[in-house]
Structure 1
Amino acid sequence: MSTLYKFNKYLLFILFGFILVFLPACEKDDVKPDDPKILARNEFYELMKEWYFWYDKMPDVDVEDYDTPEELLKALRYLPYDRFSYIASKTEFENVVQGKYIGHGFGYSFDSEGNPWIIFVFKDSPLYPEGVRRGWRIVKVNGKVISQSNIGTIFGDSKEGVENTIEFLTPSDSTVIITTAKKEIQKNTVLHSDILHIGGKIVAHLVFEGFREPSENELADAFGFFKNAGANEMILDLRYNPGGIISVTTLLGSLISGEDTDNRLFFKYLHNDKKTSYDEEVTFAKEPNSLNLKSLIVITSRSTYSASEIIINCLKPYLNVVTIGDATGGKPVGMYVWYSDYADYAFVPISFKIINANGEGDYFEGILPDASCEDDITRQFNDREEACLKEAIYYLTTGSFSGRKGRFVSQPLKERLTLEDEIGAI
């Protein structure tokens, strides 16, 4: 049937090796040979019956009632737990793995009054050399005010060359108007790194956006810098990190924990009862630039998912892990990826769950923070007055939390059903 790209276990989890898996597909004589979507629908149904983590909880359906794999997935999804399975084109999916997409190269968020703000800008963005940074407010696009209802369409199609004129308000209250065209953006996943000196402690501070193919070199550079600086504490900012490649997850966990966890159990994959032979244990690796930390502070939000949650949950048996911000997104499960034999589809259904060395997982409602604070989108990541960083510094200084909550309201759980959700940027 389909070729399984055993994507290094995908949470979004991706590329580990290539394994051919032949599932009991429908006979090609059963469908019209000139209708690839029907053929793809049928192979997807067979796939779900074998590999879907909740195959035994799927509703009974008549597959002939659905014309495409996308329609069938919507009918088969096990709710409320599966907020994540999706289908994309092969090229779109591969671009996400590589950290590439078509756009302007920035992330955004709305404040409590409905104003949109820049929350990060990738270095490959045409806006980066123009000086656009986190903390700039988007006033208008092509003369129109942005709202939460039109944000998905106001920037136009995701095609190279699509131009938009964007009016910004800078932190100094200056108006800046820039006309810029969409292009293929190569994400940098380390958005910021620096060293903080706090009460005699040398604190590594890393803002990490995603576990992608380019991340290994970026993390090597960042942790080489931290190691040379003598870092003995760490603030890891994962507030905008939706997950990614499992090899990068293992790398980051190993760089944080160090020699005390070398070759010890990091986490386990557990599959449905048809696929228990694929259950697997993943151990920490020995890394020369590991920091050998005993504790870790992680800044989180509802946009902190899967691989990011593995870092939190699966380091807890070995380190004192403290979380600050909002509850995480709640994705203790992951996916494999199958390419259709008949049409341009990448099938990405939930295929396994993750537990730590203590057997703990199932955080579908998210991992609750030890201290709550709002994402202060008006301030730079290294601004010590930024609410979450300020709380982390308070904890490192005093060993307790400030108790400041301000206007904090925890955000609801989100669905991540499309490739746009995985990209997380414009």
Structure 2
Amino acid sequence: MHTNLFTSGARVILTGIASVLLWTACRKDNKTSPDNPPKGDTIAAKPASAYEDSLKYLMYQIMQVTYADGGRNAALGLPTYYWYSQVPALNPLDSKYANADSLLSAMKTYAINPATTQPFDHYSFLDRNGVLTNKLMNGISSQAVAATNSGDFGFDYLFARDNEQKLHIFVVYVDKNSPAGQAGIARGWEIVSVNGNSNFSFTQSFLQSLYSAVFNSPSVTLGLKPSTSSAATVTKTLTTATYNINPVVFDTTFIVTDVNHIQKKVGYFSMYTFSSVINSNGQDTYTKTVLDQLFSKFASQGINNLIVDFRYNGGGAVATTQYLCNAIAPSAAVGQVMYTTLYNDKLMAHISDVKLTTTTNFATTTGKLKLDNVFFITSGSTASASELTLNSLKPYMPVQLVGSRTYGKPVGFIDFNISVFDPSHKQVYLADLYAINFETKNAKGEGGYYTGIPVDAAASDFIDASWGDTQNDENLKKIVNYLTTGNYNTSARIAAPELNSNLMKVDLSQKPAHGFNGMVDYERSRLIRAGR
């Protein structure tokens, strides 16, 4: 029997440095808050980049050899990478790998999806500053954008084309608690200038400058048009801040009367991320508070249909997937399988020893809502934990997708925090490793959607249609048609108004390379850290 496999004192010797691999899922504690931002680990005087060989070696050991003891006893054979068997033996210290990222990129090329002839893995990555872990696991925005600044602006942008195919830049969603949210900026506001520059050339250089100004700068001044029908422009100067993430950007309820004069109560909410409902210390997060309030309201109002808008949701913590599934599923699902988790063959052979779960069931609290239907609005940006949510509900209730095919990521991560001790015994944080560790399937064994999940009704995403706009949001318009007539297309019996011809359609081919697509089992990471 392999016991105590998740040890925190495993030592390896690398180029004269005594290194300690720490199996911690997160470096923050319960004192982390917007008023007390994370300070990070004690960093030795020697820069972390000086330990790049250590990072390469340890990353390779975790993924390909064994994670039980830092590599001293490879005979245990417990690699964590889901596709480890398709990666040949590599020398992680080979000079052809300039850094750990280039080594990881090489490792990702070997497992090929026969359906696409492309690598399965276009997901794994290294988080070198721990920002993602804090954001998703603790629900705290703490992105380091400059030496003396932290946090972010709390919004994202996308591109859209007008009737003449001219590109425009729009705010796509805003976190209510963020600097952008507090400044009153909202979805559908057009960005017409950035730091005084209104000459949008849309060249590669311009796009890089725009990305840097929004995601890698301590402050930005934006010229914005709140409405495409108005020439009025407002100027907003934003400074990054640390804040509690509110993943629900909008919610509402409304009533639809069908052709038989039956009223249907509909709940709608849009959610942009799966920040965890449980933090690194096992405590409830602000995200859980927000979701508790949301579903309590829906239950008190007696909704019988639910619309979940995941069109920009790239996923996050599976703990939040479990929360949402329990909140939405019918009472018949209580105690039944929500989803199953598969690991590589070596981990599966020692599954009880390593204390990894393979089955997640619905909770006894499931079934508070009495829903006839649940609709998910999706797009190519709907990924992983979002996909897991809707896929897990399919065996138990009518689930319908409206919009466009999802991203396609039925696999996920267990976060491994990699740190070393320098010769003076100071801890040096190197990175959080997010390499694919598992695959999920629903209770019917359905999964493997690497090319995305198709929709039941196609709809365009008009970026300047406000949240909850049942007249100008084509996704909502089609769902209302379905609830009214039983058909997604406008019925001849219902004189529905046409969409505003001035609306601008999202151009995802111009999507900025920002955000996270994935699902992370942070609860498993937390338990590993606690040595359970």
TM-score of Structure 1 vs Structure 2, range by shorter chain: 0.7 to 0.9
* Cross-structure match for 1:237: 309
Q: 1:260 aligns with which of 302, 319, 332?
A: 332
Summarize the alignment of residues 65-144 of structure 1 with structure 2, pairs less than 5 Å apart: 65=95, 66-78=97-109, 80-89=119-128, 91-97=130-136, 98-99=138-139, 100=141, 101=143, 102-112=151-161, 113-144=166-197
* Cross-structure match for 2:63: 48
* Cross-structure match for 1:349: 435
**Which SS does the other structure have where 2:340 is aligned?**
strand
Once the two structures are overlaid, the 10-residue window that deviates more, 357-366 or 390-399, is 390-399
The verdict on how the C-alpha distance between 1:319 and 1:412 changes in structure 2, with shifts beyond 3 A counting, is farther
* Cross-structure match for 2:293: 221
Superimposed CA distance per residue, residues 104-128 of structure 1 (whole angstroms, 9 cap, x where no aligned partner): 2112110023211111111123333
The verdict on how the C-alpha distance between 1:389 and 1:45 changes in structure 2, with shifts beyond 3 A counting, is same
TM-score with structure 2 length normalisation? 0.70
Superimposed CA distance per residue, residues 204-228 of structure 1 (whole angstroms, 9 cap, x where no aligned partner): 1111112213322111100100001
User: How much has 1:339 moved relative to structure 2?
Assistant: 1.2
* Cross-structure match for 2:382: 304
User: How much has 1:60 moved relative to structure 2?
Assistant: 4.7
Once the two structures are overlaid, the 10-residue window that deviates more, 174-183 or 235-244, is 174-183
2-structure distance, mates of 1:394, 1:216 = 32
Aligned-residue RMSD, C-alpha: 3.0
**Which SS does the other structure have where 2:329 is aligned?**
helix
* Cross-structure match for 2:451: 365
Once the two structures are overlaid, the 10-residue window that deviates more, 37-46 or 64-73, is 64-73
Q: Residue 182 of structure 1 aligns to which amino acid in structure 2?
A: T
Q: Residue 387 of structure 1 aligns to which amino acid in structure 2?
A: E
Once the two structures are overlaid, the 10-residue window that deviates more, 242-251 or 195-204, is 242-251
1-structure distance, mates of 2:54, 2:242 = 32
* Cross-structure match for 1:3: none
- Contact 2:188-2:466 at 8 Å conserved across structures: yes
User: How much has 1:411 moved relative to structure 2?
Assistant: 5.4
User: How much has 1:88 moved relative to structure 2?
Assistant: 0.9
* Cross-structure match for 1:246: 318
The verdict on how the C-alpha distance between 1:246 and 1:51 changes in structure 2, with shifts beyond 3 A counting, is same
The verdict on how the C-alpha distance between 1:421 and 1:27 changes in structure 2, with shifts beyond 3 A counting, is same
* Cross-structure match for 2:221: 165
* Cross-structure match for 1:202: 265
* Cross-structure match for 1:401: 488
The verdict on how the C-alpha distance between 1:414 and 1:107 changes in structure 2, with shifts beyond 3 A counting, is closer
Superimposed CA distance per residue, residues 227-281 of structure 1 (whole angstroms, 9 cap, x where no aligned partner): 0101111111111111122221111111111311111100000001011113510
TM-score with structure 1 length normalisation? 0.86
Does the alignment pair 1:193 with 2:287?
no
Superimposed CA distance per residue, residues 352-396 of structure 1 (whole angstroms, 9 cap, x where no aligned partner): 000001111000000011111111111111111211111111111
- Contact 1:158-1:182 at 8 Å conserved across structures: no
Once the two structures are overlaid, the 10-residue window that deviates more, 245-254 or 176-185, is 176-185
Once the two structures are overlaid, the 10-residue window that deviates more, 358-367 or 126-135, is 126-135
- Contact 1:269-1:353 at 8 Å conserved across structures: yes
* Cross-structure match for 1:314: 392
The verdict on how the C-alpha distance between 1:181 and 1:36 changes in structure 2, with shifts beyond 3 A counting, is same
2-structure distance, mates of 1:250, 1:292 = 18
Identical pairs, percent? 28
Unaligned residue ranges in structure 1 (runs of 5+): 1-18
User: How much has 1:21 moved relative to structure 2?
Assistant: 2.1
Once the two structures are overlaid, the 10-residue window that deviates more, 119-128 or 293-302, is 119-128
- Contact 1:26-1:43 at 8 Å conserved across structures: no
Larger Rg over CA atoms: 2
* Cross-structure match for 1:5: none
* Cross-structure match for 2:408: 330
The verdict on how the C-alpha distance between 1:26 and 1:114 changes in structure 2, with shifts beyond 3 A counting, is farther
- Contact 1:41-1:67 at 8 Å conserved across structures: no
The verdict on how the C-alpha distance between 1:210 and 1:421 changes in structure 2, with shifts beyond 3 A counting, is closer
**Which SS does the other structure have where 1:41 is aligned?**
helix
